Chains A and B, each alone.
Chain A
Amino acid sequence: MTSLRINGQTHDVDAPDDMPLLWVLRDILGMTGTKFGCGIAQCGACTVHLDGKAVRSCQLAVGAIGNRAITTIEAVGATPAGAKVQRAWLDLEVVQCGYCQSGQIMAAAALLATTPHPDDSDIDAAMAGNICRCGTYVRIRAAIKKAAAATQV
């Protein structure tokens, strides 16, 4: 049994230590908001927060997590940065197919949590790991700036 702190709740899961968090979330806990895109940390669709930092859950073995806090798309709206990002995503209609957007929002929220007023190069650095096949990048950039400008949600 591995004990995981996810979105403020403790979950005891029966999973091998080398099993990536992605599959524990999706296939054992039924939390499907976090997406599978590539399995090799190239696309960012599986991005979650580990102690507030954006990480690729497809490469994160559950045995290596320990007591660190995991936050997923289902609960990121409870953080100030996450709420601002979600609001901006709605206001600017960023989303198309939406499949990558959980990961985009998690990456953007982690960026704003550490860099409240990112410039374009900050956005490039934080977001270049997240592929959007629909090509919503123009709006992602605009929405991050809008979220950064928002005082509160």
Chain B
Amino acid sequence: MTIHPVSPPKNLSRRFVLRSGAAAGGGLLLGLYTHGAAAAVVNASEGVHADDGPFAPDAFIRIDRTGKVTLVMAQAEMGQGIYTAHAMILAEELDAAFDHVVVEASPPSDKLYANPIFGIQATGNSNSVRAFWTELRQAGAAARAILVQAAAAQWKVDPATCTALNSEIIHTASGRKLAYGALADAAAKLTPPANPPLKDPKNFRLIGKPLKRLDTPDKVDGKALYGIDMLPPGVKFATLAACPVFGGKVGHVDDRAAKAVPGVRQVLVFDNFVAVVGDHFWAAKQGLDALDITWNEGPNAHVDSALIWRDLEAASEHPGAVAKAVGDADKALQDGDRFEAHYAMPFLSHAPMEPINCTAHVRPDGCDVWVGTQVCARAQAIAAKVTGLPLDKVIVHNQLLGGGFGRRLDIDGIEQAVRVAQKVDGPVKLVRTREEDIQHDFYRPVYYDRLTATLKDGRINGWTHRITGSSVMARWFPLGFQHGVDGDGVDSAIDEPYDIPNMRVEFRQHEPPAVPTGFWRGVGPNNNVFAIESFIDELANKAGKDPVDFRLAMLKTKTPRLAAALELAAQRSGWGNPLPARRGRGVAAQVAFASFIATIAEVEVDENGEVRVPRITCVVDTGIAVNPDTVIAQLQGGLIFGLTAALYGEVTIDKGRVQQSNFNDYRMLRIDQAPAIDVHLIRNGEAPGGIGETGTTAAPPAVRNAIYAATGIALRRMPIDRDVLAGRKQP
């Protein structure tokens, strides 16, 4: 979801002013007041005057008289560790004792909790640390400054003679100390500075340390609450069936048998889904199974995967919008042997372990929504739209997310729950079955990539890359789709790391019939890094070069950070050491989400085409790693997420409907197939990059190239085709 393509939206930075105030029960509140550019972007869409950004007294930091520091989290915690990372950044500049820090989810507001990169309240694109890095540091430093000022005033000393450490202000000369809790009331009367000095990174006490995550303890003893765990008093339980054919509607419903199921309370028929409400999920599910529904399948009942691929490939034959041009690619492609290859990516479902769910309570004068969402303000907006209530009458209680992966950037499940809740007396929790979750997703789009290149002196001289596929941005964030180019769709393609003198990258929008598309962990870079790194390996082979050496020659001058990561990965993986037959190592080098990552996978391919991945080596330069242990964990997990896609991931369509339904036929990698993973961080003082999606992007090309090395078979489509690898089918 990068939003910096051909013509970057110009107004996606924002200015903010910190203000302090007194908390209701005493203590210090530090909030922020947004105004200016980003607010204008958001407010324009809401028809609100641009300078009406309200003061949010508790937007960021609350310090009570006991010294407890509450940090309000603008970003959703979905496993990526952002609650801890953001708390560390704030606490670093605040000099708060980390064990005094608690976090809570922010309420919905695009104005107050906008992600500074997106301009709306959204968690995605692996950018939570990058986007908030400066803002959180400034907020922490400003709070620290008024606490220092309050202490200095009480001691009648120069604030410059005071320091802060572990939630105390210390007057160095006299050794006097005052705890933050004791200063909170006085500090609340002071004005925080607009541009407080920030720490020199070499003086960081928290950032860069592998601190324990704040959310872990409650996640090992069952106390952690996700959206699906909400039990407001009197709650009823619902589940639903949507028309299995995309775009279809409900025809006729015979609900006599369903209503006879003990515990079933209501059968609710909507335009395109039917919900059953009961005393518990089991009753609702039994009721659903007893329904006799006739669907009006609509115009998409003929759509199947073969048609979708045919259309996509045909579309890819036509030029796309030029996203980037350097030198003269057409001329360079006339010079010497020209090599061309096409790569393709399938539809994928997100399948977070917590199925899509939402609890809602609609009353004449208000609405409560309990959900885990990546877009809290959009959750509020859709509930307001469905109910007709003003925004401020819709309270969204954001919860921990049992996996996001982009699925919870969409609000379809919230809309359905609110519609159901309108017809239920009291709160109702709508939980999708796993089958509904997988069959009614916003799928990672199918992509078809055409690449051509010529070589000169063992390097790439001419290069074209045409990406054909859905523009998710056009639906989800129209600012990111400009002049025919989807900023996410070309991410990691327009800014590929190799020094290529003549290149052109095109994006051709082609929306698949019937199938809704959405952001999926790794987003555009997944497709582009796979196509580019697969092609680079084939070009290295054509040039007669070692794949690592071939890359390094084109990286060293243009992208030295990636070159350094690749050299270290080669060394740590034993690159070049002999392997037995049918074993191979494959490399993928990427700049994605502002991190520089080299990955080397080792695979073994058996006679049946089955692929085993015994180990992966991954070297990461993400600049300052706020919590290095979390960075390592995200790479370990992200690589496995990508391995699942490479080895198993494909959603197929027949008769207008998704053929997969649950984990039996939409397979996930399991522990007995998980490789040993060596993640090594290169430490430096560069600004932090993004991490959450990077491993997912890295794994498929590394595995694909390892298979290429092991077998000589150049797979050009994911997931791996075992028939091809076993020689039962032509590539």
Contact = CB atoms under 8 A, between A and B. Distances in A.
A40 interface: yes
Nearest to A89: B220
A34 B224 CA distance: 11
A96 B400 contact: no
A36 to B, nearest CB: 7
A124 B672 CA distance: 5
B434 interface: yes
Interface string A79-113: 00000001001100101111111100100000000
A114 interface: no
A93 B353 contact: no
B353 A135 contact: no
Contacts of B224: 98
Given A43-B663, A138-B677, A105 B220 contact: yes
Interface in B650-706: 662-664, 668-672, 674, 676-677
A73 B402 CA distance: 17
Interface centre among B223, B639, B663 (most CB of A within 10 A): B663
A150 to B, nearest CB: 15
A45 B431 CA distance: 15
Interface centre among B80, B223, B355, B400 (most CB of A within 10 A): B355
Nearest to B280: A27
A28 interface: yes
B670 A131 contact: yes
Contact of B353 (A15, A24, A86, A131): A131
A77 interface: yes
A70 interface: no
A53 B400 CA distance: 29
Interface in A23-66: 23-24, 26-28, 30-40, 42-43, 45
Interface in A104-153: 105, 123-125, 127-141
Contacts of A35: 228, 353-354, 402
B226 A99 contact: yes
Nearest to B352: A133
- Nearest 5 CB-CB pairs, A to B? A33-B222, A135-B640, A97-B79, A99-B402, A98-B219
Nearest to B262: A16
Nearest to A121: B672
B222 A133 contact: no
Given A23-B282, A131-B668, A135-B674, A34 B212 contact: no
Interface stretch (B24-32, B86-94, B323-331, B630-638): B630-638
A75 to B, nearest CB: 9
B220 A39 contact: no
Given A37-B434, A134-B641, A137-B674, A99 B353 contact: yes
A141 B671 contact: yes
Contact of B663 (A20, A24, A38): A38
B355 A131 contact: no
Contacts of B383: none
Nearest to A106: B222
A37 B643 CA distance: 21
B670 A136 contact: no
A58 to B, nearest CB: 10
A12 interface: no
B221 A38 contact: no
A33 B226 CA distance: 10
A14 B405 CA distance: 38
Contacts of B215: 95, 98
8 contacts: A26-B229, A33-B222, A38-B662, A39-B285, A40-B663, A73-B221, A74-B223, A97-B401
Q: How large is the interface on A (under 10, 10 to 19, 20 to 34, 35 or more residues)?
A: 35 or more
B81 interface: yes
A101 B219 contact: yes
B217 A90 contact: yes
Interface residues of B, number: 65
B403 interface: yes
A19 interface: yes
B403 A134 contact: yes
Contact of A93 (B213, B229, B662): B213
Contacts of A33: 221-223
B393 to A, nearest CB: 28
A76 to B, nearest CB: 8
Nearest to B279: A27
B629 interface: yes
Given A30-B231, A42-B662, A45-B353, A99 B671 contact: no
B225 interface: yes
Nearest to B435: A39
A28 B354 CA distance: 19
B433 interface: yes
B281 A124 contact: no
Given A36-B228, A95-B219, A133 B351 contact: yes
B78 interface: yes
Contacts of B79: 95-98, 134
Interface in B507-544: none
A127 B671 CA distance: 7
Given A32-B231, A133-B353, A93 B280 contact: no
B289 to A, nearest CB: 11
B431 A133 contact: no
A34 B629 contact: no
Contacts of A40: 434, 662-664
A90 B80 contact: no
Contacts of B677: 138
Interface centre among A26, A39, A135, A136 (most CB of B within 10 A): A135
B216 interface: yes
B627 to A, nearest CB: 9
Nearest to A38: B434
B237 interface: yes
Interface in B198-250: 212-213, 215-217, 219-226, 228-229, 231, 237
A117 B403 CA distance: 32
Interface centre among A74, A132, A140 (most CB of B within 10 A): A132
A93 B403 contact: no
A132 B212 CA distance: 20
Contacts of A124: 671-672
Given A35-B402, A86-B220, A102-B222, A134 B637 contact: yes
A86 B663 contact: no
Contacts of B671: 123-124, 127-128, 130, 132, 137, 140-141
Contacts of B354: 35, 37, 97, 99
Given A38-B434, A90-B212, A98 B402 contact: yes
A136 B219 contact: no
